[in-house]
Amino acid sequence: MFSAFMLHAWIVATLVAVAAGCVGFFVVARRAAFAAHALPLGAFPGAAAASLMGVNELWGLAGFAVLGVLVIGQLQRAGRREIASALWLTSALALGVLLLGLSGRYAQSVYGLLFGDLLGIDTRQMAVVAAFSGLTVALVAWVGRPLLLDSLSSELASAAGARARALEFVFLGILALSTAIAVPVVGALLVFSLMVGPASAARACTDRPWRSLAIAVGICLATVWSAIALAYVTNWPVGFFVGMLSAVCYVAGRLRGGAVALAQVA
């Protein structure tokens, strides 16, 4: 389980989990689950576009992630964020289907991009993921306070001098970059599960925001590590275990939240 070829998987999953925990805290606070789903998934055609043009896959992913932020940001001025997310996601995926069809890379690469392929990660990919996870954590540390204030009360934040629109773009940017880069390694769908479940469970453990963020990162790490171990033992896909464990986290959080509320009443 800890042999050389699995070592890269452990390291990358740990890096992704730390970034996903930090970003997931804000996804939960800002009700942005749909955007968190749409941005990484919408970046996956970038990989197909890049392979068609013969450039590095990562440029394609980053390009589509940034494009997604701009499109969602622009569309949500006219309508609502959920409509903007839905439209961006479907048009990006439609483009992806076309590009995959034209480039002739079919079933196997799609499965890998959606559900992840933790084996066969090379050192260069690992370095890129490490760089972007570090960047994500640094950005969260930098804009975390105004972003949290804006998530809790946008009136309060604008009174404190923050600009809501700029903050929304910064948030979507962090979301997009932290997730899109991890797509070829852990898959578009795994990143999403990691952002929602653990952070929602962390809320039930404490009322303090920064402690909640730390707990979210901890639960993320526990989820990812158990998922890899289970996948190694059963030979089933990692994405399955991450999705299920994330749901278990959420249910546990709801139950705990209910128990705490009952205890306060009694």
Binding site for other proteins (CB under 8 A): 28, 31-34, 36-37, 41, 76, 78-83, 85-87, 89-91, 93-95, 97-98, 101-102, 106-108, 110-111, 114-115, 187, 189, 192-193, 196-197, 200, 236-237, 239-244, 246-247, 250
Please give the structure tokens belonging to residue 55: 């450039």
Identify which of residues 128 and 151 has a Cβ nearer to other proteins in the complex. Answer: 151
Q: Pull the structure tokens for residue 34.
A: 């749909």
Task: State the nearest-atom distance from the C-beta of 89 to other proteins, in Å.
Answer: 7
Tokens 């990812």 correspond to what residue? 224
Least distance (Å) between residue 81 CB and other proteins: 8
Is 116 or 146 the residue whose CB approaches other proteins more closely?
116
Q: How far is the CB of 142 from other proteins (least distance, A)?
A: 25
φ and ψ at residue 182, rounded to 5 degrees: -80, -10
> Cβ closer to other proteins: 96 or 146?
96
Of 106 and 210, nearer to other proteins (C-beta) is: 106
Of 166, 208, 193, nearest in space to 248 by CA = 193
Q: Rounded CA gap, 101 and 246, in Å? A: 33
Give the contacts of 172 (CB within 8 A, at least 6 positions apart).
35, 39, 68, 69, 72, 73
On whether the CB atoms of residues 16 and 129 are closer than 8 A, the answer is: yes
Please give the Cα distance from 201 to 125 (Å, whole number). Answer: 31
Given the complex with other proteins, which of 56 and 226 has the nearer CB atom? 226
Least Å distance, CB 103 to other proteins, is 12
Q: HSE (CB half, 13 Å, CA atoms) of 61? A: 23
107-110 — which CB contacts under 8 Å span 24+ positions?
Answer: 109/47, 109/48
Cβ closer to other proteins: 170 or 195?
A: 195
Tokens of 174: 């962090």
Rounded to the nearest whole angstrom, what is the least distance from the CB of residue 114 to other proteins in the complex? Answer: 7
Closest distance between other proteins and the C-beta of residue 124, in Å? 26
Report the alpha-carbon distance of residue 252 to residue 262 in Å, rounded. 15
